[in-house]
Every structure is written in C-alpha cells, then in structure tokens.
Amino acid sequence: MNQNKNSTNDNPLNEHDLINGCIKNDVYCQKLLYEKYSPKMMGVSLRYCNSKMEAEDVLQDSFIKIFDKIKTFKGEGSFEGWIRKVVVFTALKSNDKRVKKFEPGDLDNVQEPSLDSKAVSNMETAYLMNILQELPVGYKTVFNLYAIEGYSHKEIGKMLGVTDVTSRTQYSRAKQYLLKTLAKHGIKRI
C-alpha cells in the first residue's frame, strides 16, 4: 500500500475502492480521484467560465463539494456523470453571484450568417474554447447546457430558475451571437 502511495500514477484501485477511500477521507484516494477526473472537469469548468483562474476556482469548490458529499453518491448512474453534474452546478452558482445572466445582447439587427462548417471544424479546440468563453455568461450557460451537456430546455429552465421558453429564446440568441462571433474571428460565409 505504501508503495502504491509513492506512485500515484500507477492507480491500483478501481472506482469502487476509490469512492470508498474518499468516503473514509483517505487523502491518497482523494488524490487519485482528483488526478483521474480533474483534467476532464477542468475542461467542463472552462466552458462555463471566462478565464482559467475562474475555472480553477470553480474546480476547487467542486472538488471540495465532491469530497464532502461523496457519501451521498448512491451508485445510480455513472460516477463521472455525478462529478460532472457537481462541476456544472458549481459553475452555474459561481456565475449566479455577480453576473446578470440573461443579457438582451445587441442582436436585433444581426442576420444569421451561414458559415463554413469545415473551417470551424478545422479550428483548434483551444481556439473554439476561447470563442465560447467570449460569449456573455447567460448565452454561454444555455449553449453549454443544451448543445454540449444535452439537457432539455425544460431541465435548463428548472436549473436556472427560468421558464423553458426563456431558455429556448436564450439559446436561440446564444447561437446567433456565437455565429456572429465566429464571423468576427474570420470564419467567412460560404
């Protein structure tokens, strides 16, 4: 066991053991869990935040909650899905605290452009992440939840405390805003 503790990369524990260890507040298990999921969850967090620092704050709060509440995980569904949910909800709360979520945006006169999807596909993932991060928080949140996480507008409405119609409208505006932003970044019409 001590040998294992010296080499955290060589993870000898399965997920069940890892969860049990974390329930017992074993720092070694917590570290293994963190190392396993933190890069992926950092990716999730980055999508909802404006900067890396903000995303790390969300990630930090998320893992504090995960370690504190891991005993409430009942094994229903995947563990990664549960962790992801915690990160998403923490990010939503983080955005809640200062920012007006649903900016009207200056989109009234924006024509929805048709963009070269091949050009978008060829863009670096990090570049796409930057574009997503540039969106206003409200749009970014709805876009993330609907287009990437796969939540329905009804679920999003419940999560954000708005009606599903608002979520739908916001998503539509978010899409327009995103296309406009892509156009600004040089993705030309075809």
Q: Helices 153-160 and 164-184, interaxial angle, to 10°?
A: 100
Both tokens assigned to 17: 């053991």
Residue ranges of alpha helices (H) inside 71-124 are 79-96, 117-122
User: CA 5, CA 8: separation in Å to the nearest integer?
Assistant: 6
User: CA 17, CA 65: separation in Å to the nearest integer?
Assistant: 19
Question: Which residue, 63 or 82, has its beta carbon nearer to another protein?
Answer: 63
The residue with tokens 């974390």 is 22
Instruction: Give me the least distance between CB of 158 and another protein, in Å please.
Output: 19
Instruction: Give me the least distance between CB of 28 and another protein, in Å please.
Output: 11
Instruction: Give me the least distance between CB of 179 and another protein, in Å please.
Output: 7
The residues of the shown chain that bind another protein, judged by CB under 8 A, are 27, 30-31, 34-35, 38-40, 42-43, 46-47, 50-54, 56-61, 63-64, 67-68, 90, 93-94, 96-98, 112, 114-115, 117, 120-121, 125, 128-129, 132, 143, 147-148, 175, 178-179, 182
Both tokens assigned to 181: 């932003």
Question: Which residue, 13 or 120, has its beta carbon nearer to another protein?
Answer: 120
161: left (phi > 0), else alpha (psi -120 to 50), else beta? left
Question: Which residue, 29 or 75, has its beta carbon nearer to another protein?
Answer: 29
Q: Do residues 171 and 95 touch, judged by C-beta distance below 8 A?
A: no
Instruction: Give me the least distance between CB of 108 and another protein, in Å please.
Output: 19
Question: Which residue, 20 or 42, has its beta carbon nearer to another protein?
Answer: 42
Question: Which residue, 75 or 150, has its beta carbon nearer to another protein?
Answer: 150
